[in-house]
Structure 1
Amino acid sequence: MRGKAGLVVGIAVGYVLGTRAGRERYEQIKTQWMKVWNADPVQKQVSKATDFAKSAAMALPSTLWDSAVKVTKAVSSKDTPGQKLDAAIKTGEDSVADIEKAAKKSTQAAKKSANAVKDAVDEAATEAADGRGGA
């Protein structure tokens, strides 16, 4: 299904760029694309992706900030300089794992969200091509 949408988009772009059919054909293609883009399933997934981006955008910086605070607290303790260094290194190592986990989680969620949008576009494009489009 992914290959279908890519192929359709590639053919459409190639046709628009390579044809001499003119503005009228371009407008027809643009109208069909807008029907697909504005289809309810596509917009629903776009909305989900947008909401995800807003929430995920803060997850990683929050983890980074929390890690920086932990390292700062470890360094500002009343221990000896060597103990402070050891505590900062240990806290930094622990923080790396937290940051890596948050980054992986954000990446996986972003991929899932992008795939959902792509699948919705594929489905709407197929429906529009079959003449079943609801938009």
Structure 2
Amino acid sequence: MAKLSFLAGFGAGYVLGARAGHERYEQIRRGWEQAKDDPRLQSLAGMAQARADDAVSALKARMGGEPPR
């Protein structure tokens, strides 16, 4: 009897948790879709990319340039 009630409780928890998890996933996904199209985020991403490129260039210069191909 205890095993049956445990399985019933586990099943109910799984179903309810899966539904709540999917709804939260969709909420996060919609937020990301809105954020990635935001011009402010695009500007920040561009500045971060430029800084990363500068850092890589400076590191390559300190190490003697690019290796031969």
TM-score, structure 1 as length reference? 0.30
Q: Does 1:23 align with 2:22?
A: yes
Structure 1 residues 1-135: aligned runs within 5 Å: 20=17, 21-65=20-64
Query: How far off its partner does 1:63 sit?
Result: 2.2
Stretches of structure 1 lacking an aligned partner (at least 5 in a row): 1-18, 67-135
Question: What SS does the aligned partner of 2:64 have?
Answer: helix
What do residues 75-133 of structure 1 show as CA deviations (whole Å, max 9, x unaligned)? xxxxxxxxxxxxxxxxxxxxxxxxxxxxxxxxxxxxxxxxxxxxxxxxxxxxxxxxxxx
CA distance in structure 2 between the aligned counterparts of 1:45 and 1:52, rounded to whole angstroms: 11
TM-score, structure 2 as length reference? 0.52
1:35 partner letter: Q
Match of 2:11 in 1: none
CA distance in structure 2 between the aligned counterparts of 1:42 and 1:28, rounded to whole angstroms: 19
CA distance in structure 1 between the aligned counterparts of 2:27 and 2:60, rounded to whole angstroms: 44
Query: How far off its partner does 1:29 sit?
Result: 2.1
Stretches of structure 2 lacking an aligned partner (at least 5 in a row): 1-15
Question: What SS does the aligned partner of 1:65 have?
Answer: coil
Inter-CA distance 31–63: structure 2 relative to 1 (3 Å threshold): same
Once the two structures are aligned, what percentage of the paired residues are identical?
A: 31
Runs of 4+ residues deviating >6 angstroms: none
CA distance in structure 2 between the aligned counterparts of 1:25 and 1:63, rounded to whole angstroms: 47
Q: Which has the higher contact order (CA 8 A, sep 6+)?
A: 1
Please report the RMSD computed on the Cα atoms of aligned residues, expressed in angstroms.
Answer: 2.3
